[in-house]
Amino acid sequence: MLAYECYKAPEDRKLDTGTSAKIVFRNKNLGIEEYKFLLRTIACSGIGEETYGPVNVISGQEDSPTLNDSISEMDVLIFDTLDKLFAKTGIFPSEIDILVVNVSLFSPAPSLAARVVNRYRMRSDIKTFNLSGMGCSASVVSIDLVQHLFKSSKNAFAVVVSTESIGANWYRGKEKSMMLSNCLFRSGGCSMLFTNSSALKRRAIFKLKHLVRTHLGSKDEPYGCCMQTVDDLGYKGFLLTKSLKNSAAQALSLNLRVLAPKMLPVSELIRYVYVSHREKKTKRTSRREMGAGLNLKTGVDHLCIHPGGRAIIDEVGKSLGLDDYDLEPARMALHRFGNTSAGGLWYDLGYMEAKQRLKKGNKILMISLGAGFKCNNCVWEVMRDLGDVNVWKDSIGQYPPETVVNPFIEKLSWINDEQLSFVRFH
């Protein structure tokens, strides 16, 4: 990897808790219990007051999203990050050999990849790929595609763009398991530049060491734990079920069985074999056992965990025996930018770099979880000392904050008052 650029929306797209509450109250399908659930979830989500939302939602047009709204949302983010990426590296768009764009919930024709080719007047022999439906782990899927394509292309450049369409997929119904996406997902994304040219080795910031993909789509529970669907009232949204954490645990456990032997020293491998044998013998894989006997820090220096939500971050941390220092980047990325889907990992990585944690020779384990259900993990080697404040430039000095308790907790204390259960809105 030569460089990456994360997106930061303008100030007029800030989506703090107060604005979120106003958006919630615009939904006339909700009753008092649904209002209380949403506000409680927002206030306790681990998301801060400076995340960003899509233009149509901020402006009150979430009930009637248009095709132009979705295209504009993608254009602004993709072109902003690519402009900065090309300017930073000095690589021209005409030099790009491979382009991969991943957006799960929006796939127009011509494709978003074609829009990039048209905007930057890229070559006619460029290999383009447009991935949809791959969920929050799509970045690592795209990188895996690039590394395979590199095997048949020498001295090539590849660009990966990872983001998500939020505005057109804002849920307007009242199913609690579908409301969660409105509480967690925010606008964001990232563009990355890769090469397999040995002549550019000195300019690289990361080198891909290992990559393992795990897919549990053959099992009904993992397959259905997070998916786009329509509720009984006909409202489209993204369903997140209670089985999500268990599915994530299963996928991560299976992934580590393959990845751990590639990155851990012999002493840890012996323990890993023992743990795998015990799980096979008991015929179960619980979240508590997922990382038992493994000390991942013997093989990697940093962990970059998808900032999908406070519960997922905490569960991964507990299962793998990680401390607050290890989990800080994911928690802070979630607090500052929210869950930006496939782009979230790079805000996490950007935090580590801005805090000057990344030193030459360090290894980074990147853990991504997404719909399907998939767990796609990879290990990067840091090629030189890094300290670019990147997208964190205006806020890194305030992180980590003394507390991540939502300032609206007291103002919204009525949502926990059982004596208000008789209230009905008209």
Is residue 210 annotated as part of the catalytic site, yes or no?
Answer: no
Q: Residues 225, 302, 376, 377: which is the catalytic one?
A: 302
Is residue 339 annotated as part of the catalytic site, yes or no?
Answer: yes
Q: Residues 56, 169, 335, 377: which is the catalytic one?
A: 335
Is residue 302 annotated as part of the catalytic site, yes or no?
Answer: yes
Q: Residues 6, 136, 183, 226: which is the catalytic one?
A: 136
Q: Residues 255, 339, 377, 390: which is the catalytic one?
A: 339
Q: Residues 190, 255, 304, 306: which is the catalytic one?
A: 306
The secondary structure of the chain, three-state, reads: CCEEEECCCCHHHECCHHHHHHHHHHCCCCCHHHHHHHHHHHHCCCCCCCCECCHHHHCCCCCCCCHHHHHHHHHHHHHHHHHHHHHHHCCCHHHCCEEEEECCCCCCCCCHHHHHHHHHCCCCCCEEEEECCCHHHHHHHHHHHHHHHHCCCCCCEEEEEEECCCHHHCCCCCCHHHHHHHHHECCCEEEEEEECCHHHHHHCCEEEEEEEEEECCCCHHHHHCEEEEECCCCCEEEEECCCHHHHHHHHHHHHHHHHHHHHCCHHHHHHHHHHHHHHHHHCCCCCCCCCCCCCHHHCCCEEEECCCCHHHHHHHHHHHCCCHHHHHHHHHHHHHHCECHHHHHHHHHHHHHHCCCCCCCCEEEEEEEECCCEEEEEEEEECCCCCCCHHHCCCHHHCCCCCCCCCCCCCCHHHHCHHHCCCCCC
Q: Tell me the C-alpha distance between 185 and 47, whole Å.
A: 10
Is residue 136 annotated as part of the catalytic site, yes or no?
Answer: yes
Active site residues: 136, 215, 302, 306, 335, 339
